[in-house]
Every structure is written in structure tokens, then in C-alpha cells.
């Protein structure tokens, strides 16, 4: 049965992940029943960006997608990939450039290659006037410095899966970034700095995401045996955010959904079908 009290948008769902291949329709049905009205599917390389675009085009009233090259894949980024990204980003259901950014925690691609791919995607975003869906881990200084050079030319930018503290948050807010909060906020061990920062996020800059199948909320009860995160758990994240901010769940749902609609330009997609 649909949860008519919630209207949530999951801005970061990896629905193309192999773990969803066998029951993707059921996963989407559970999300809708939980009140997650829309998902923005993350493109992290060309393959997942293509698949996400196909899924979004098939269900435009429920899904949108992004197209980008994650920093882990930056070493393979070349002009032909840039051209295909531009072609994908011309599709109406593809609403943002990314996931792109820097990740010095694992360095699966050399930092220089990461910076080059990041800059190239920021240039694409500026040229086509679509927002960017950003990834940053253990690379804050370089990430912020690059963004400062491009921010005035970008139509919008969101710090996907923000896990930092107050100082990092304030720098991102000064750059005009929106902030995506995941189930990391539900982890009292690793998420303490984030929990302290969440009340400082302006209501008009806050968005919610699961990053499913990753980052299952640690305090979820009962925990699924598979340990797979799903978009249907977004209300659990929203409730945790509401408690930290001293707001109602309905207020957080309303503001974050409004922000996602405006950020990704979803107004047209969410209008009822006149037929």
C-alpha cells in the first residue's frame, strides 16, 4: 500500500548495479510503496550511464538518470568517452553530469588523471547547462579548488553522499553546493561529524539519497540478510535527518523533494499525464 504521507526523491540510486538485476521491478515497487516517488539513477561509467538512461527513458514518471565517469574510472577517460557522454546528456531523462569528482582514498586512477577527467566533465556541464553530481573522498582541497574555478559557470552542483564535518560543509555551502545525505548519518560510529553538520545545512540546500545498494543504514531494524541497501529505506534516512534537525519528517520530505525537483529540473517530468 502506498505511503500517501510521503513524497520523497532518492537523488542517488545505483539501480543498474548487478545486485538488482534479478528483482529490479520489485525494488522499484517497494520504493514507491514506501513513499519514494522518484529516483535519480547514478551513472558512474559509460556502461552504467547507458543502462541508467535506458531505464529512465522507459519510466519517465518514476526515474531520471545521470551520466558521468567516476574518479575510479578516470584513467580510461578520453575524447571518445567525452563525446558519448555528451550524446547521453542530450537525452531528456538524463538530468545531471556525474558521478564525477576526486577520490584519493583508493586512487584506483592516478590523481592527475582524476583531475583531468573531473575538469573535462565540469566543462561539459557548463557547456550544456546541466548540474553536476559530485564525488569527493580524501581530496577536499583539490576538489574545492577545481570547483572554485568552474562554479560560476555551472547551473548547479550537489555534493553526493556528503560525509564531512562542519568546516567542510561550510566551504561547500560557500561554493553554492547542495548537499546529499545518505544512511551514513545513521552510523553513530563513523557518522558523528556528519551528524553534527546536518543541522547546519540550510533547508533549501538539503537533498536525500540512499546510494543503494551501498551504505545500508546501520541502525535499520531488522537488517536485511543480504545487507543490500534499497531506495525503500530512504524514509528511514529522512527520519534520522529530521530528528537531528529538530524538524518533522513531513517537513524534511517536503523541502528535500522541492529542492530535488528544482535542482534536476523535474517539474515537467512530474506533471500528471493529461491522457
pLDDT, tens digit (0-9, with 9 covering 90-100), for 168-201:
999 999 999 999 999 999 998 999 999 999 999 9
Place of cell 523533494: 257
Q: Tens digit of pLDDT for each residue in 63-122?
A: 999 999 999 999 999 999 999 999 999 999 999 999 999 999 988 999 999 999 999 999
C-alpha cell at 189: 560510529
| Residue 158 and residue 205 in contact, taking contact as beta carbons nearer than 8 Å | no
- Dist CA 156 CA 126 (whole Å): 9
Averaged pLDDT for residues 230-243: 98
Place of cell 564531512: 164
Other Cβ atoms closer than 10 A to 264: 23
- pTM for this one? 0.95
Averaged pLDDT for residues 237-249: 98
Domains assigned to the chain: 8-233 (3.20.20.140)
Indicate if the pLDDT at residue 157 is higher than 90.
yes
Beta bridge partners of 66: 96
Instruction: Measure the CA dihedral 236/186/118/259, to 10°.
Output: 40
- Dist CA 81 CA 91 (whole Å): 16
Residue 136, SS3 per DSSP:
strand
| Residue 213 and residue 16 in contact, taking contact as beta carbons nearer than 8 Å | no
Amino acid at each position: 500500500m502506498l505511503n500517501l504521507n510521503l513524497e520523497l526523491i532518492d537523488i542517488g540510486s545505483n539501480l543498474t548495479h548487478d545486485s538488482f538485476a534479478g528483482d529490479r521491478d520489485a525494488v522499484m515497487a517497494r520504493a514507491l510503496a514506501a513513499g519514494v516517488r522518484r529516483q535519480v539513477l547514478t551513472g558512474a561509467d559509460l556502461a552504467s550511464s547507458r543502462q541508467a538512461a535506458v531505464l529512465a527513458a522507459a519510466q519517465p514518471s518514476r526515474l531520471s538518470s545521470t551520466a558521468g565517469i567516476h574518479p575510479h574510472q578516470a584513467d580510461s577517460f578520453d575524447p571518445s568517452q567525452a563525446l558519448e557522454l555528451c550524446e547521453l546528456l542530450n537525452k531528456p531523462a538524463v538530468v545531471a553530469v556525474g558521478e564525477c569528482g576526486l577520490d584519493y582514498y583508493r586512487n584506483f586512477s592516478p590523481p592527475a588523471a582524476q583531475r583531468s577527467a573531473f575538469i573535462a566533465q565540469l566543462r561539459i556541464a557548463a557547456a550544456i547547462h546541466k548540474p553536476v553530481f559530485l564525488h569527493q573522498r580524501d581530496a577536499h582541497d583539490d576538489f574545492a579548488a577545481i570547483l572554485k574555478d568552474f562554479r560560476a559557470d555551472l547551473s548547479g552542483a550537489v555534493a553526493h553522499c556528503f560525509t564531512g564535518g562542519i568546516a567542510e560543509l561550510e566551504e561547500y555551502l560557500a561554493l553554492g553546493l547542495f548537499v546529499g545525505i545518505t544512511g551514513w548519518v545513521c552510523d553513530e560510529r563513523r557518522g558523528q561529524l556528519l551528524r553534527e553538520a546536518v543541522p547546519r545545512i540550510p533547508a533549501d540546500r538539503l537533498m536525500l539519497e540512499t546510494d543503494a545498494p551501498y551504505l545500508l543504514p546501520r541502525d535499520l531494524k531488522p537488517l536485511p540478510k543480504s545487507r543490500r541497501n534499497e531506495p525503500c529505506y530512504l524514509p528511514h534516512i529522512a527520519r534520522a535527518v529530521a530528528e537531528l534537525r529538530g524538524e518533522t519528517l513531513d517537513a524534511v520530505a517536503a523541502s528535500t523533494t522541492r529542492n530535488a525537483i528544482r535542482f534536476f529540473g523535474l517539474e515537467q517530468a512530474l506533471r500528471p499525464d493529461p491522457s
